[in-house]
Amino acid sequence: MPPGPDWLVLASAVLSIFVVSRVLKFIAGIKSRGSRAHEYHFLPSAFLALPFPTSWWNPGVAWVWKWRRSFYKQWRSEVVSFVPFLRGPPFIYTCSLEVARQFLSGGFQSVWVKPKWSVETLLEWGPNLVSVNKEVWRRHRRIVGPAFNPTTYSLVWAETLRVYRDIITTEGWTQKDVVILDPVQTYTTRLAFLVISACGFGLSFPWKDETKSDNGGMGIHEAMRIWASTVTLRAITPSWAYRLPFKLFRDITISTQMLRDSLGKMILERRAEMNSETTASNVEKKDIFTLLVRASEEDSKLQLSDSELVSENITTLGNVFALMFAGHETTASTIAATIGLLGLYSEIQEDIYKKIIKAVGHDRDPTFEDFHQLEAVAHAFYEALRLFPAGYIMIREATEDTTISIPNADGQPGMRQIPIPKDLPMVVDVVGIQYNPRYFPDPEKYDPSRWRGVMAESEDITAFSIGPRTCPGRKFAVVEAVCFLTLIVRDWIIEPIMNPGETGEEWRERVMQTHTAVTLTVKHFPVRLRRRARAAPPV
């Protein structure tokens, strides 16, 4: 029987109420921004936006990458509002450094904070430097900061060199003139994991390690590997999914439990060593985990509790993992992107090779003391990071009503003030900044020379963030990348594996694609390594 008139009246009433509520919400959202900008029916990342093409009313799935590189040019504005009609709060996005610095450069007393909802994934690991605000952030920073020092960076260099030597021996590269890395990320991810294990926790593993625990179960090496390789998956997986009968979810649960127990035991052991009369073992350990435990012991006013070093939550880990594993996938992906880009642009690769030979020659291992002589390698890494910024957005909101200055629209000179209500999210679009031609002329071009004179600690490398909350592990990542890339470029010619008739730019368009989740990474791709013939050092 068809529905009666009463049913139609009820349905019409419900629909009318919904539409009116959406219109009122939409109008309120527009007013809350304090200035006119651009409205859409959905947020750029909303699920409902995905089936529809990019248009004046829907950013579409292209938001993930290409759209964000041209959107601000399209609207002739570096500050753009999103007011979704159907679902979600209003946001303001910006690709302006001048605007971004207004809410990123303030200290711990700033009115601008990271919204809790934007760091929920990190808070599940326990309180940590990346996720907390104000005085709590200051406390974490004062303890974590000293752990990143020249001794740590020297250890990073030595461990990266050890891993490279282990690769060429274990994989049989010493007997080969041509090697296929398929995909590159298999190698760079494993490299990043091993370097973090050694320098972050004092646990040194070989390139291939099949060891088990004493009872034949999962060993700590395997537990750490699973934890590191599933960072993104865990961030988007609801807690109930871990009760499903899938091996991967069981392995994640087991590995997390094992690491929680193992690191809790490690804290007690390190503290016992520090409090003992014998300091030999204490002197030998320079990994970041030990330095953090020592710092919390030595500064009673700014102690990090055990639950902040290692979370008591069975599904998460704490401050040490937030610091170290936040850089695992990102460092690995950026090193892989650098290898791919150097393979594509052979003239840049050859120029860097000549500078490497001039700095360290053919026959000796480069050392950390060579780091500043290998700035051309660092520039290649910075440029890959610019093109593929791992941290692709930074979100802040004000704890009270305030104002910011934004550039005038249509390229007009000068700035104007707009009000920002409390809790309105401000989003720094890092991709938009890295492709903003005001800061990076010809932004699509891979040009490492644009970084000449820029040091690893410089805030000019905006992909590492800006202001006091810049990435504390930035130089850790740069040192690891420079060491590994120096060895690869010195010993091998990197070549892209192209389809028949494919040009270099077509290869880049096809292969250098991105995946966006918790971080932005380059999708898997292969390259060919061809052994270099030894030649006389360049004059």
Residue 320 in any domain: the answer is yes
> What is the pLDDT at residue 367?
97
Shared domain for 59 and 117, answered yes or no, is: yes
CATH of the domain at 459: 1.10.630.10
Domain of residue 342, residue span: 142-390+450-531
Residue 539 in any domain: the answer is no
d(CA 94, CA 35): 14
> What is the pLDDT at residue 311?
42
Shared domain for 278 and 319, answered yes or no, is: yes
Shared domain for 120 and 195, answered yes or no, is: no
User: CB of 330 within 8 A of CB of 517?
Assistant: no
> What is the pLDDT at residue 418?
87
Shared domain for 208 and 261, answered yes or no, is: yes
Residue 538 in any domain: the answer is no
Helix (H) or strand (E) holding 6: helix 5-33
Shared domain for 100 and 187, answered yes or no, is: no
Peptide bond into 183 cis (omega under 30): yes
d(CA 134, CA 143): 15
Shared domain for 408 and 376, answered yes or no, is: no
Residue 137 in any domain: the answer is no
Shared domain for 396 and 384, answered yes or no, is: no
Shared domain for 414 and 483, answered yes or no, is: no
Residue 302 in any domain: the answer is yes
Of 428, 449, 470, at which residue does a domain stop?
Answer: 449
Residue 29 in any domain: the answer is yes
> What is the pLDDT at residue 156?
95
Of 449, 464, 495, at which residue does a domain stop?
Answer: 449
Shared domain for 161 and 248, answered yes or no, is: yes
Q: Which residues of the chain have pLDDT under 70?
A: 1-70, 84-88, 121-126, 210-217, 232, 235-236, 277-284, 296-326, 410-411, 517, 535-539
Of 400, 432, 449, at which residue does a domain stop?
Answer: 449
CA dihedral sign, ordered 171, 177, 182, 184: positive
Residue 536 in any domain: the answer is no
In this prediction the pTM is 0.84
Shared domain for 42 and 96, answered yes or no, is: yes
Shared domain for 167 and 121, answered yes or no, is: no
> What is the pLDDT at residue 315?
28
Long-range contacts (CB closer than 8 Å, 24 or more residues apart) made by 436-443: 436/72, 436/78, 436/95, 436/96, 436/97, 439/97, 440/386, 443/69
> What is the pLDDT at residue 316?
31
d(CA 485, CA 331): 12
Total number of domains in the chain: 2
Residue 89 in any domain: the answer is yes
SS3 36: coil
d(CA 95, CA 30): 20
Shared domain for 292 and 400, answered yes or no, is: no
d(CA 498, CA 475): 33
